[in-house]
Amino acid sequence: MSPQNAQTDHTAAISTRGVTRDFPAGQDVITVLHGIDLDIRAGELTFLVGESGSGKTTLISIMCGILWPTEGEVQVFGTDIYDLTDTALVEFRLANIGFIFQQYNLIPSIDAAANAAVPLIARGMAVEEARAQATEMLDALNIADQADKLPSQLSGGQQQRVAIARALVHEPRLVVCDEPTAALDAKSGRRVMDLLREVAVAEDRACIIVTHDNRIFDMADRILVLEDGRITHDGKDMPEEH
């Protein structure tokens, strides 16, 4: 990366500087990310693509404040999130970040609407009010009719949409998605992408999406390619070789 990139860009929604991450692998340590310097601009839909094991999930986990970098700094909307105390970071996530991971981790004993309403309930909203608001979000995802069902009664794609509703219901400024369309057919996938664009792409907001789904590449404002823990491409379109 060029030297001037090492300066923090204050207009960026997220900036990472020298982010590395090691994991223990038996006796050894493997380094998954090698000094990532990246600015995610607000108002854009940013895609992160790369081979399996290249470190995509690791990188976005660090960006959304749920995985500590081994080295480096991460600023989200100007806040150095890993300088916060544990509790302050948890509160920062609740106020600013929504995410959808490959594991949805829905709560099995509460229905779809309540699951989608969790961030609102965590903010102290009354359960019924929160459910009603979450049901609107489910409606936008075309599964309002499933609102009263338990996660176990839903299909994989429906569960994923509940997880998406949960990520968006509190209108977070930063939305991070790991393969949000993987379990969906083309039409539902488009719908999800439209919704993400609607909720998450605005002047003071940002959205990062990890995806392999070439059906939606055309929707990206920016595409980043991660290879073996390094950013190797940054542009409006996919590089030729992919």
Partner 1 sequence: MIWIAIRMLTGDRTKFYGLLFGIAFSTLLITQQLTIFVNLIERGASGVYNVAEAEVWVMDPVSRTTDIAYAMPTTALDRVRGVPGVEWAVPHLRANAAVRTDTGDLEQVAIIGVDDATLIGLPKGMVEGSRAVLSRPDSVIIDDVGTTRMFPDQPTPVGEVLELNDQRAVIRGMADSIPSFTSTVVLYTRYSQALRYVPGTRNRLSFVLAGAADGVAAAELARRIEAQTGLRARTRDEFAGDGVDFIIENTGIPFNFGITVVLGFIVGVAIVGLTFSLFIRDNIRQFGALKAIGVTNGKIVRMVAAQAGMVGAVGYALGLLGTVAFIWVFGSDPTFKGFYIPWQIPLMSLVAVALILAITGFFALRNVLRTEPAAVFR
Q: Which residues bind partner 1 (CB under 8 A)?
A: 57, 61, 66-68, 86-87, 90-91, 93-95, 97, 99, 101-103, 105, 107-110, 114, 118-119, 121-123, 127, 166, 178
| Cβ(176)–Cβ(200) below 8 Å | no
Q: Write the DSSP string, 156-215.
A: HHHHHHHHHHHHHTT--SEEEEESTTTTS-HHHHHHHHHHHHHHH-STT-EEEEE---TT
Nearer to ligand ATP, 111 or 179 (CB): 179
CB of 47 to ligand ATP, least distance (A): 13
Q: Are strands 28-41 and 206-210 parallel, antiparallel or unpaired?
A: unpaired
Nearest residue to Mg ion, using CB?
A: 57
Report in angstroms how near the CB of residue 212 gets to Mg ion at its nearest: 10
E-strand stretches of 42-126: 45-49, 71-76, 79-80, 97-100
Q: Which is nearer to partner 1, 61 or 223 (CB)?
A: 61
Smallest gap from Cβ 131 to ligand ATP, in A, equals 32
Q: In angstroms, what is the minimal distance from the CB of 76 to ligand ATP?
A: 19
- Cα dihedral 94, 103, 66, 64 sign: negative
Cβ-based nearer residue to partner 1, 114 or 220:
114
Q: Give whole-number Cα distances, 73 to 17, 57, 62, 68, 81, in Å.
A: 5, 17, 10, 10, 8
Provide the b/e sequence for 73-109 (b: ≥16 CB within 10 Å). Answer: ebbbbeeebbeeeeeebeebbeebbbbbbeebebeee
Query: Is the CB of 6 or the CB of 30 nearer to Mg ion?
Result: 30
Among 13, 15, 38, 50, binds ligand ATP (CB under 6 A): 50
Residue range at the interface with ligand ATP (CB under 6 A); choices 52-60, 84-92, 93-101, 109-117: 52-60
Nearest approach in angstroms of CB 71 to partner 1 is 15
Residue 24's CB is within 10 A of a number of other CB atoms, namely 8
Residue type, 16: T
The answer to the question of residue 68 lying near ligand ATP (CB under 6 A) is: no
Residue 55 touches which of Mg ion, partner 1, ligand ATP, none (Cβ within 5-8 Å per kind): ligand ATP
Question: Pick from Mg ion, partner 1, ligand ATP, none: which does 119 bind, CB < 5 to 8 A by kind?
Answer: partner 1
Footprint of ligand ATP on this chain (CB under 6 A)? 23, 32, 50, 52-58
